[in-house]
Structure 1
Amino acid sequence: MKKRLVVLSGAGISAESGIKTFRDSGGLWEGYDVMEVASPEGWAKNMELVLDFYNQRRIQARSCKPNNAHVALADLEKDYEVDIITQNIDNLHEQAGSTKVLHLHGELFKAQSSLDPKLVYELNTSDINIGDKCKKGSQLRPHVVWFGEPVPMMFPAIELVRKVDIFLIIGTSMQVYPAASLIDFVPKRAEIYLIDPSQDLPYFGSQVIHIAEKAIRGMEILKENYLNHK
């Protein structure tokens, strides 16, 4: 029987594919204050700006390809029962071949009703425009969890983490909540690996093995020195 391995991935893994992150630039995301483009208040203030911002993010994401870290995570499915919980809204994990991906913060290539978040649609084009409506008649918006909104996928994510044998954190310095709290639900018997170049990380105890590298090199070290020796 395969061991259960759950991955929590963050912006650092996508950054090595060329997708920029706002936390590396003082709270700006592609030159925008994140609260202008990633909050209900920003949406209410300037809907057209928000839609254009995410339309541009889709164009950018389509030009990016999975990197070796994404591929290495997909390859783990040969030896482990793998679930990926990602904070990223891109689809690079899926492109790399991972078959079970839970998006905590939504998905860039989907739209949702601005009134009923349960009404979600696949996007066949890059754009959501003013006047694009759901079946109930409300304006479509990005299927993205904005600052100040609940994170409904936290509950299934917690259930996955409760059952792990190995918990792998990659590309996140564990500063974003509630995602960072998932480590609190890892069983005491489980192994925990954290791949992130930052030396200024919260202390999670001796159970956590920190590999202080970026995602691609960190995955190489993990497979060479740890997982291949089980």
Structure 2
Amino acid sequence: MTPPEDSVTRARQLVDAARRIVVLTGAGISTESGIPDFRGPKGVWTKNPAAEKQSTLQNYLADGEVRRAAWQSRINHPAWHAGPNSGHRAVFELERRGLLHGLITQNIDGLHQLAGHAENRVVEVHGTMRRVMCWGCGKRLPMPEVLQRVRAGEADPHCLECGGILKSDTISFGQALVPEVIERAMALAAEADLLLAIGTTLQVYPVASVVPLAGEAGARIIIVNDQPTPMDALADVLLRQPIGEVLPRICAG
């Protein structure tokens, strides 16, 4: 096994040599900001299995009680009080250095943008919790506007224009991914000369397929995750160190 320090040095060399870095991030990069993952030991669904219903489209649309619980969860989501951590800031350093070709994230918390990334650099494959969409007319508006209505007493707010059900502009279980978003993620991966996968189990498809896709196109691959992933055999470098500690060491100019 390669000693950890040698792996960090090798990863830094690959980053410095790259010109079109594509980063893929999962829940692991945000846990250090106080945002729990879903299925980990302290995950949202692990601690409260009923919460998974709120993320299932069929249940959400059919059951007002589920929606009312979901709105309370949105008000109390830790992301509203969280900020980017050293891992997010290290990824932004790649953009500042002119090396970042694109950032694909499975996260819905918006912390990459708060770290400074240009909106057009970020591909949010599972949507964003910072926006609301109407299931009836498709209208989108900022989440804080609707949360104010909930705080004022509307337990299950509906669209003011068409009366349709409002939900977080995120991809729920049973809801189709947006084809254009996935196509953009795949195109970025195919153009990368280095793919940096951070804090993701690489088990959720089709997003996980950006790793082999990048590799087949000739990109070098670095995986930063505290647990083994199904893609580890494809990696040029594996890093098991804490994300907030190791990313600044390999990304800084």
Normalising by structure 1, we get a TM-score of 0.85
Give the aligned CA root-mean-square deviation in angstroms. 2.3
Alignment of 1:159 with 2:179, yes or no, is: no
1:52–1:206 CA distance, 2 compared to 1 (3 A): closer
The whole-number CA distance in structure 1 between the counterparts of 2:104 and 2:160 is 28
Alignment of 1:97 with 2:125, yes or no, is: no
If each structure's strand is expressed as a fraction of its own residues, which one has the higher value? Answer: 1
What is the match of residue 53 of structure 2?
36
User: Does structure 2 retain, via aligned residues, the 8 Å contact 1:22–1:30?
Assistant: no
What is the match of residue 92 of structure 2?
74
The whole-number CA distance in structure 2 between the counterparts of 1:135 and 1:158 is 36
User: Does structure 1 retain, via aligned residues, the 8 Å contact 2:190–2:217?
Assistant: no
User: Does structure 2 retain, via aligned residues, the 8 Å contact 1:40–1:147?
Assistant: yes
CA deviation string 1:195-215 (max 9, x = no partner): 1111x3214535432111221
Which letter does structure 1 place at the counterpart of 2:176? P
Alignment of 1:5 with 2:21, yes or no, is: yes
The whole-number CA distance in structure 2 between the counterparts of 1:32 and 1:207 is 34
Bigger RCO of structures 1 and 2 (CA < 8 A, at least 6 apart): 2
Q: Identity across aligned pairs (percent)?
A: 26
CA deviation string 1:72-107 (max 9, x = no partner): 111111231331111111011111111121111110
Normalising by structure 2, we get a TM-score of 0.78
Following superposition, the deviation at residue 115 of structure 1 comes to: 3.0
Question: Aligned residues, how many?
Answer: 220
1:34–1:185 CA distance, 2 compared to 1 (3 A): farther
What is the match of residue 222 of structure 2?
193
Greater Rg over alpha carbons, structure = 2
CA deviation string 1:6-42 (max 9, x = no partner): 1110100000110011111377166243431110133
**Moved >4 Å (runs of 4+):** none
Question: Structure 2 residue aligned with 1:140, among 158, 161, 166?
Answer: 166
